[in-house]
């Protein structure tokens, strides 16, 4: 039993070691990008890349583990050929992916994924057109040489046996122990016991994207991409490109003189606190005609500040909503762009724009920042510091999602006191306590769901009250917006227009005066609206429109799987792309938004394919 368990552990550790060693090799090969790296930075790359290495090693160790299990019944001699074939195949795959990755990184600027494979299989001639024959020959030689080297290591470490493993006397207990050990491999494969499963976001740790790239395991990157890849430019082809382009040109922000756009703020460089409220909606706000007594403090802020009353969530999930808010980029019905770090790197982002204007940028979340690749997206977006569940003591991580909102807001307040000299600042706070299972350390309402919202509202109220007493308040803008459609009342239908209505509130001492704005808009329009108020350009935010620009088209837009909704004052439309049917069509100009909505979605996927 001991020999078999030791060999299983040796197999796993050997795979991990090989993956780790590939990182300094990558850095040495691309010394032109990493010439100024310190030893500490190289070690950081190796350390932060470890989660993907541990996960992939788990995948690769399962079959050798099954060989060992089978050997308890038939002996190891009969499995020699199978071991030769398996480790030969793995050596070839490791070498093939590593060398192709090395060769293509200089061209693509990101680690190997399914993108090069798509171009190769769709048009191999064009795929090879940009490289010389000698480049290909060198690559083939390198693959053969590296595969031979890896296989040699495998042979002398794992395949060659001084003493063949014989059938043990206690086969059942040995088999059980091996099964248990193989089962334990699924812990590193999954990435532990947290909410998030293993993904590329785990390795992102630096503002220097080159360091993040060096930490990525290219085999994991390729596997991940292949299991999440679709041909975006082949989806949602409703009309000819010329027509889609023409219709889309009518749906984007229009240039206009600044003097015709009202100024909501009394300064162009306020401190900004974004509060992204988990699952909130207008239906729990008394000021919006919803349930009274739930969001007492949010209702008060709506009265004191600027309330946008015809505002819509772009989607139904946090990962999609965050990109809509931060990057002004519409949510997609069949995927989430946050799953693709190589695409999110090229998205515009409010934090990056403000960082260029001199803002100090932080992000605060009580949960797991690696969930759905959030960390990689935020770092790419220009966030300098991310506070997440690991920054809170275990005693405060009592929620399924991490630290409850009261501890989250307390953390931000502490930071405001200690880092207040760094102004102007942008602090983005993402709450989580009003997420299911809606279990919170607070009891005000009998309804469990509403009580969770009341708890977050209570935490928000205490935070705002303390901020108001601070000298920062007079020069601070507080932007309050939910991350996606609301969780109350419970509804299985996320395609209903009314379920997507959410509040957007500009509050704080930097706001000139209280008012209500009834213009139709959605989360993607926050970027253009806010940046214009700050006197900053927002041209790169293609899909974002200034809500206060009278020359621009005004509409709310949302997507859920295979469905889009487009809402204006004269037409409220929901279209099911899968069934090719209109689900909802109301207003004085029925179907007016149908072709526009189709063109908008088609252009979104054109853009997604090019990112």
596 close to 324: Cβ distance less than 8 angstroms: no
Q: What Rg value do the Cα atoms of the chain yield, rounded?
A: 27
**Average pLDDT score, the chain:** 92
pLDDT at 367 (0 to 100): 92
pLDDT at 56 (0 to 100): 96
Task: Of 119-123, 366-370, 518-522, give the range with the top mean pLDDT.
Answer: 518-522
Longest dimension (CA), the chain: 89
Surface-to-core class of residue 144, CB atoms within 10 Å of its CB (0-12 exposed, 13-18 middle, 19+ buried): middle
pLDDT at 166 (0 to 100): 79
Alpha helices in 524-571 (DSSP H): 526-533
pLDDT at 124 (0 to 100): 64
* Cα torsion through 244, 245, 247, 251, rounded to 10: 120
pLDDT at 256 (0 to 100): 80
Please check the confidence at residue 263 and state whether its pLDDT lies above 90. yes
Distance CA(575)–CA(236), nearest Å, equals 12
pLDDT at 128 (0 to 100): 67
Mean pLDDT in residue range 218-229: 82
pLDDT at 260 (0 to 100): 86
Instruction: Name the band, by pLDDT with cuts 50, 70 and 90, for residue 118.
Output: low
pLDDT at 95 (0 to 100): 97
pLDDT digits (tens, 9 = 90+) for 484-520: 999 998 876 778 899 999 999 999 999 999 999 999 9
Beta-carbon count within 10 A of 553 CB? 14
3-state SS class at 606: helix
Please check the confidence at residue 442 and state whether its pLDDT lies above 70. yes
Instruction: Name the band, by pLDDT with cuts 50, 70 and 90, for residue 25.
Output: very high
DSSP state of 347: S
Lowest mean pLDDT among 3-7, 274-278, 443-447: 3-7
pLDDT digits (tens, 9 = 90+) for 284-307: 999 999 999 999 999 999 999 999
**Which residues neighbour 554 within 8 Å (Cβ) at sequence distance 6 or greater?**
519, 520, 521, 545, 547, 568
CA angle 158, 160, 162 (to 5 degrees): 115
pLDDT at 119 (0 to 100): 52
pLDDT at 2 (0 to 100): 83
**Which residues neighbour 390 within 8 Å (Cβ) at sequence distance 6 or greater?**
none
- C-alpha pair distances (Å), 167 with each of 179, 439, 566: 16, 53, 68
Going by their DSSP bridges, the two strands 385-387 and 360-365 should be labelled as parallel
- C-alpha pair distances (Å), 94 with each of 63, 145, 191, 227, 547: 16, 12, 21, 18, 51
Higher pLDDT, 506 or 234: 506
- Taking the model in full, what pTM does it have? 0.80
Please check the confidence at residue 310 and state whether its pLDDT lies above 90. yes
Mean pLDDT in residue range 254-265: 86
Please check the confidence at residue 125 and state whether its pLDDT lies above 60. no
Domains of the chain: 2-228 (no CATH), 232-249+277-610 (3.40.720.10)
Backbone angles phi, psi at 558, to 5 degrees: -145, 160
pLDDT digits (tens, 9 = 90+) for 460-490: 999 999 999 999 999 999 999 999 999 998 8
382 close to 355: Cβ distance less than 8 angstroms: yes
pLDDT digits (tens, 9 = 90+) for 537-572: 999 999 999 999 999 999 999 999 889 999 999 999
Surface-to-core class of residue 48, CB atoms within 10 Å of its CB (0-12 exposed, 13-18 middle, 19+ buried): buried
pLDDT digits (tens, 9 = 90+) for 161-205: 777 787 777 888 888 998 999 999 999 998 887 766 788 878 888
Backbone angles phi, psi at 89, to 5 degrees: -65, -45
Q: What percent of the chain has pLDDT over 70?
A: 96
pLDDT at 420 (0 to 100): 60
pLDDT at 89 (0 to 100): 97
Please check the confidence at residue 207 and state whether its pLDDT lies above 80. no
**What region, left, alpha or beta, does residue 382 occupy, with left being phi > 0 and alpha being psi -120 to 50 degrees?**
left
Please check the confidence at residue 142 and state whether its pLDDT lies above 70. yes
Distance CA(13)–CA(35), nearest Å, equals 30
Instruction: Name the band, by pLDDT with cuts 50, 70 and 90, for residue 265.
Output: very high
pLDDT digits (tens, 9 = 90+) for 45-92: 999 999 999 999 999 999 999 999 988 888 777 888 999 999 999 999
Going by their DSSP bridges, the two strands 556-560 and 563-567 should be labelled as antiparallel
Instruction: Name the band, by pLDDT with cuts 50, 70 and 90, for residue 121.
Output: low
Q: What percent of the chain has pLDDT over 90?
A: 73
315 close to 522: Cβ distance less than 8 angstroms: no
């Amino acid at each position: 039993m001991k020999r078999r368990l030791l060999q299983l552990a040796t197999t796993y550790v050997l795979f991990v070691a090989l993956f780790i060693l590939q990182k300094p090799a990558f850095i040495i090969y691309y010394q032109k990008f990493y010439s100024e790296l310190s030893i500490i930075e190289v070690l950081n790359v190796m350390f932060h890349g470890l989660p993907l290495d541990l996960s992939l090693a788990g995948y690769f160790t399962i079959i050798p583990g099954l060989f060992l299990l089978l050997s308890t019944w038939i002996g190891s001699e009969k499995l020699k050929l199978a071991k030769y074939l398996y480790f030969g195949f793995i050596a070839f795959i490791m070498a093939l992916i590593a060398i192709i990755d090395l060769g293509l990184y200089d061209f693509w600027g990101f680690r190997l994924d399914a993108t090069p494979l798509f171009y190769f299989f769709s048009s191999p001639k064009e795929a090879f057109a940009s490289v010389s024959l000698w480049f290909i020959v060198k690559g083939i030689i390198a693959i053969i040489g590296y595969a031979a080297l890896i296989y040699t290591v495998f042979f002398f470490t794992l395949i060659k046996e001084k003493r063949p493993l014989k059938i043990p006397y206690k086969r059942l207990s040995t088999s059980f122990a091996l099964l248990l050990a193989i089962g334990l491999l699924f812990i590193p494969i999954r990435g532990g016991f947290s909410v998030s499963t293993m993904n590329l976001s785990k390795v992102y740790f630096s503002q220097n994207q080159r360091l993040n790239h060096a930490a990525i395991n290219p085999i994991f990157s390729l596997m991940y991409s292949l299991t999440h890849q679709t041909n975006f430019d082949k989806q949602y082809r409703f009309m000819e490109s010329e027509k889609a382009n023409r219709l889309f040109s009518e749906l984007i922000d229009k240039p206009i003189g600044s003097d015709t756009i009202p100024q909501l703020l009394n300064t162009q460089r306020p401190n900004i606190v974004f509060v992204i409220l988990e699952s909130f909606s207008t239906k729990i706000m008394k000021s919006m005609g919803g349930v009274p007594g739930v969001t007492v403090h949010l209702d008060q802020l709506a009265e004191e500040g600027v309330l946008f009353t015809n505002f819509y969530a772009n989607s139904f999930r946090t990962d999609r909503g965050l990109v809509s808010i931060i990057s002004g980029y519409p949510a997609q019905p069949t995927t989430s762009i946050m799953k693709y770090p190589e695409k999110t790197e090229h998205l515009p982002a409010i934090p990056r724009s403000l960082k260029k204007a001199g803002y100090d940028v932080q992000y605060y979340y009580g949960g797991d920042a690696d969930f759905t690749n959030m960390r990689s997206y935020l770092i790419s977006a220009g966030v300098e510091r991310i506070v997440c569940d690991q920054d809170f003591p275990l005693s405060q991580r009592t929620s399924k999602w991490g630290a409850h909102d009261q501890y989250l807001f307390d953390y931000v307040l502490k930071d405001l006191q200690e880092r207040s000299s760094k102004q102007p600042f942008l602090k983005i706070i993402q709450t989580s306590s009003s997420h299911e299972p809606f279990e919170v350390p607070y009891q005000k309402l009998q309804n469990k769901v509403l009580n969770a919202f009341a708890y977050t509202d209570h935490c928000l109220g205490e935070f705002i009250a303390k901020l108001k007493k601070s000298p920062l308040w007079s020069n601070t803008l507080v932007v309050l917006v939910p991350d996606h459609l609301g969780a109350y009342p419970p509804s299985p239908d996320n395609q209903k227009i009314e379920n997507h209505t959410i509040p957007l509130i500009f509050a704080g001492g930097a706001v000139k005066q209280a008012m209500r704005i009834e213009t139709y808009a959605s989360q993607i329009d926050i970027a253009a609206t806010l940046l214009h108020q700050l006197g900053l350009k927002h041209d790169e935010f293609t899909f974002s429109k200034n809500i206060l620009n009278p020359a621009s088209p005004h509409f709310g837009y949302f997507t859920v799987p295979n469905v889009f909704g487009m809402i204006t004052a004269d037409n409220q439309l929901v279209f099911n792309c899968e069934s090719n049917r209109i689900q909802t069509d109301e207003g004085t100009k029925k179907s007016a938004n149908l072709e526009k909505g189709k063109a908008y979605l088609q252009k979104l996927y054109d853009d997604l394919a090019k990112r």
